[in-house]
Structure formats: C-alpha cells, structure tokens
Copies of this chain bind each other. A is one copy, B any other.
C-alpha cells in the first residue's frame, strides 16, 4: 500500500475516533445535564459503582485528575445523595465511597444507555468484528 493511502486511512481513523466518542458520550451527557450534572460526575458514578468502598485516592489513580478537581463534583454528588462517604474502620484517614440507591439507579441508567449504544453497533456486524474492536481499544493505552 502506498504511503499516501495509508496516511488517508489513518487520518480517517482519527476523525472516526473523534465522532464516535462524541456520539458515545452524547446520550449520557444529555441525561446528566437534566440533573445539573456533567461528565465528571458520570465518571465518578461509574467507577464508584464498579469499585464499592473505593477511597478518594483510588478514584484519583483511575481518573488521573488532581484531588482538587475531583473534590467539587464528588461533593456535589454527595449533596445530591447519589454517593455516600464514610471513614474507614481500619484507618480513619481513608474515606470509603459507595453509591446510594438512587445513585445506583442513575448509574444503571447511564451505563445501560451506553451498553445499548455499543450493542447496536456490535450487533450490526459479526462476532469477530466486535472482538477485533476490543483488541484495538486494548492496545491503544499501551505506551509506545
């Protein structure tokens, strides 16, 4: 394959990535906006849901933001009673985070929306295509 054609493919892939990710986040964004929440809140809801009793620092390592950046949206979620926080027994420095019942409901709604979105794209092709997509996505965060 000529270099030029390869470049065009790679450029197209950049655009596909951009538009696909934007589409992928737009439905949760819309649901969240109706509650005065944003994408940062979504990420917290998601990861607290997946890792019950996670500490603030655990969340920081996953999200790779400063703890100050986490603070405002997390406090917001606690005020709205979507997330609960308590000090750990074994070490009172640690705060443990959990989703409340309504937090779980919202997280399930957001995640379900995205699962349906992905499922629609996956189901329009075959199993091998879906597995291939995941294998590329797994490779991307690896360091060069």
Contacts and interface: CB of A to CB of B under 8 A. Distances in A.
A69 interface: no
Contacts of A134: 9, 12-13, 16
- Where chain A touches its partner, the secondary structure class is helix
B125 A139 contact: yes
A4 interface: no
Interface of A: 7, 9-24, 43, 46, 50, 64, 111, 114-122, 124-125, 128-130, 132-142, 144
24 contacts: A10-B119, A11-B50, A13-B133, A13-B134, A14-B115, A14-B118, A15-B50, A17-B24, A17-B118, A19-B137, A19-B141, A20-B138, A24-B140, A116-B144, A120-B139, A120-B144, A121-B139, A121-B140, A121-B142, A125-B135, A128-B128, A129-B135, A129-B136, A133-B137
